[in-house]
Structure 1
Amino acid sequence: MNENILGIIAGVLTSISMIPQLIKVIKEKNVDDISLVMLIVLITGLSLWVWYGFIKDELPIILSNAFAVMVNISLLICYMIYKKS
């Protein structure tokens, strides 16, 4: 398999992996089972991958991880909105 195709498939799968969780949170308005620390660590790691992609000039790395950052920031925003005090 061509390494670019492999990278694109991996990027798409990892980028969309949190979308079902985001949809569930939006529908149920419940974030009790989500770890704030996990979200912050994940967003930080994904952001570093975006930075790495820019350093290496690798558009698939940049795009897939930037999309994943946006999805997870959306989840973080939902966390802040729906978290019970």
Structure 2
Amino acid sequence: MDENILGLVAGGITSVAMLPQLIKVLKEKDVKDLSLLMIVVLITGLSLWVWYGFMKDELPIILSNAFAVLVNIALLISYFKFRK
């Protein structure tokens, strides 16, 4: 298997891991069980992976982690919008 395809598939799977959580938050408008620290740390780590991907010119790393950053930023925005 081509390593770029493998990287895109692996990155795609891990990138969508937080989508069920985001969908649940958006449906229920409830974030009481979310950890703000976990979201911030995850966004920081994913952003560093994007930076690393640019440094290594690795499109699978850039794309998968950039998508994950966007999903988690949406979760962060939801956290502040729906917290009570």
Pairwise same-fold verdict (TM > 0.5): yes
Q: Which residues of 2 match residues 43-58 of structure 1 at below 5 A?
A: 43-58=43-58
Q: Which residues of 2 match residues 1-85 of structure 1 at below 5 A?
A: 1-84=1-84
Structure 2 unpaired stretches of 5+ = none
Work out the number of aligned pairs and report it.
84
* TM-score (ref. length: structure 1): 0.94
1-structure distance, mates of 2:72, 2:54: 20
Alignment partner of 1:78: what SS? helix
2-structure distance, mates of 1:45, 1:83: 24
2-structure distance, mates of 1:37, 1:77: 14
- C-alpha displacement of 1:4: 2.3
* TM-score (ref. length: structure 2): 0.95
Aligned-pair identity (%):
73
1-structure distance, mates of 2:82, 2:13: 27
Structure 1 unpaired stretches of 5+ = none
- C-alpha displacement of 1:33: 0.7
- C-alpha displacement of 1:55: 0.2
